[in-house]
Structure 1
């Protein structure tokens, strides 16, 4: 099954695609705008499968509601399919990406976090931060946790806790990340820096998570063309490792790293500029498309009523 959200921002509805038919999921999820921890924790995937089997989920009228490459993006917006709890990310997890950045193969997974409020839909605009000159792209396999995982004893145990998979664009500002001191968080948590979706694809749909192609192009030029087979730490190993240090809960998202081809590692470092179009895809999980836009200047806050009154009195001499 493939879960997705469609509709305007903040007013999305949930749907599920199975067997070539798209179903309205709201009888099970109410007014939820994305898949949530509560849905996953309470057997939502199994309940959706049963509801489809017994005919209790209404089919949507037009297949175009599903976020396929043929979808009319401007007319049928897709939101992120998941409202994540934690977003955990693995750095330098592909051999070729480590090589292009002149980094040594890490002996253990490199872990950083992104805030859930970085998440936007798969076709939404991404904002280039003010004064940024090094905004970069990263196509990544996103892993969605489906059951609580603590101190997993093996990668196999960790894999059994997966609800499904999605696509993340781990957008990064390299100056903020690398040249400003401290941790990577400053370059990873800018507004709109985690487009997600279009689908949350259930784990049973993916035969081998370590054999998926990942691609990304900028303005039609292919920049990344990799495979999850090149991961240094496989998905099960990553989850088991993380579960030693923190509890993974249903709805947590793990971005598992990016292959070679990021702007930072390319000749001339062609970082993103206003108007650039980024398209990315992962085998079996769909595709994304974002236009990058310069972030607007902040709007000055209106003065407080008390301050306004004081100014008026001073100006008028009262």
Structure 2
């Protein structure tokens, strides 16, 4: 049925199936991708390629899947889609949708290299001085591969790295070499990207956040911006501005643009995403909502008002960016607790909308909005003070912790 010459091995994925736990048979044809299919318990056999996010149904008319080389797999058994995340060794299931592209729009693959988590960091040189470098986290999370030490042609800044996709292949090779590893505790993590061309923010983009404000869900994205030099690192202190008395927290999912896009077609939108990171949209509510004609800029872009990190996670390493738990703690007290599935405008929607008005370029950072639980809408309102510690975290990406000083 699949044109494969032999069955190489059988793998029991999980006792996960509704009816039982069938074995998944793996077959391989020389010079062809790996296929997986269910043994005999499904009413219709389906194929799977080793593509992150491609999908299809087995049939005599179209037996071949889209071929990509990544670390996720997918197959479809109406009424559900199944995804096997090989790195995490987890099986995920999604409810079947008549429009087969619904899931595919949200799960994207373009690179063909190993999934990586990029960090910028400061390292100490033999002469005692410090230098910035670019690295990739080792899967254990305890070490970093120093990409610049592994290959001097790799730039030490993420923004420059994104200008040439060939750097990805070099980085993947460095990660696989097992050399030039540094303990994470021996370096200082910086913001994962410095001085991007644009920092674009989306307001009122969670349904539950609109509800807490008692406002209607926007009909189109609400856009504002921050200056790029207000970005700070995942553990840097947030300076309390003397100009405000209403400093507030906002955890947000941010994504980083990986290639140039203008008037982007919806079906191509996610190919413009390089990866994801955690953002803290620090806000001075008095300047945002009461002063300066209620223009948001000053209340959103004071020094230190955009902590980012801890890394930029490539999109291939995130199963579904629009189904991630997102939380914020202040002094270890949970303040925000939601899911990115509550986004009003999804990532592809934002790319299409924004690119109607200006060109998106590699390195642009887009903050997708915050869920409910911010201080200003609590009863009574709550605001940050000096000494407070804010932790923002998103499932599958990580967390950042910043102290107000």
Cα drift, residue 214 of structure 1: 0.5
Name the structure 1 match of 2:33. none
Q: Secondary structure at the match of 2:385?
A: coil
User: Is 1:238 aligned to 2:369, yes or no?
Assistant: no
Quick one: distance in 1 between partners of 2:154 and 2:190?
14
Residues 172-191 of structure 1: per-residue CA shift (max 9 Å, x gap): 10111111115210101100
Quote the Cα distance in structure 2 between the aligned partners of 1:163 and 1:46: 14
Deviates more, 1:222-231 or 1:79-88: 79-88
Residue 8 of structure 1, CA deviation: 7.5
* Contact map agreement 1:127 1:192 (CA 8 A) in 2: yes
Match of 1:58 in 2: 179
Match of 2:314 among 186, 190, 202: 202
- What is the CA–CA distance in structure 2 between the aligned matches of 1:81 and 1:202, rounded to whole Å? 12
SS of corresponding position for 1:216? strand
Contact 2:154 2:170 in 1 (8 A): no
Q: Report the Cα offset of residue 45 of structure 1.
A: 2.4
Give TM-score scaled by structure 2 length: 0.66
Of 111, 114, 120, the match for 1:5? 120
1:301 — aligned with what?
none
How far did 1:230 drift? 0.1
Which of 95, 120, 129 is the equivalent residue of 2:207?
95
Whether 1:24 aligns to 2:146 is yes
- Residue 101 of structure 1 contacts residue 264 of structure 1 at CA under 8 Å; is this kept in 2? no
Cα shift readout 1:85-132 (whole Å, capped 9, x = no counterpart): 200110000011111122221110000111110000011000111041
Residues 168, 196 of structure 1: 8 Å contact kept: yes
1: CA distance, partners of 2:191 / 2:208: 29
Instruction: Give the Cα separation in 1 of the matches to 2:361 and 2:259.
Output: 6
Name the residue aligned to 1:140: 252
**1:278 corresponds to:** 390
Tell me how far apart the structure 1 counterparts of residues 375 and 316 of structure 2 sit (CA, whole Å): 34
1:160 and 2:271 aligned: yes
Is the Cα contact below 8 Å between 1:142 and 1:254 reproduced in 2? yes
Deviation per residue, 1:223-279 (Å, 9 max, x gap): 000110000001111111101111000000000000001001111111000101111
1:166-219, CA deviations, whole angstroms, 9 ceiling, x for partnerless residues?
011010101111111152101011000000001010110001111011111101
Structure exhibiting the larger radius of gyration computed from Cα positions? 2
Q: Deviations over 1:126-169 (max 9, x none)?
A: 01110411111111011000011111121x31111111000110
Which residues of structure 2 form unaligned runs of 5+? 1-115, 125-129
Structure with more helix by fraction: 1
Is contact 2:147–2:154 with CA below 8 Å preserved after alignment? no
Cα RMSD (Å): 2.0
Query: Hey, what's the Cα distance between the residues in 2 that align with 1:30 and 1:179?
Result: 50
Equivalent position of 1:45 in the other structure: 168
TM-score normalised to the size of structure 1?
A: 0.83
Count of matched residue positions in the alignment of Structure 1 and Structure 2: 279
Which sits farther off after the overlay, 4-13 or 175-184? 4-13
Task: Return 5+ residue gaps in structure 1 as ranges.
Answer: 66-71, 294-318
Change (3 A) 1:178 1:119: same
Q: Relative CO higher for 1 or 2, CA cutoff 8 Å, sep ≥ 6?
A: 1
Alpha-carbon distance in structure 1 between the residues aligned to 2:393 and 2:152:
28
Q: What CA distance in whole angstroms lies between the structure 1 residues aligned with 2:243 and 2:342?
A: 34
CA distance in 1, matches of 2:352, 2:374: 27
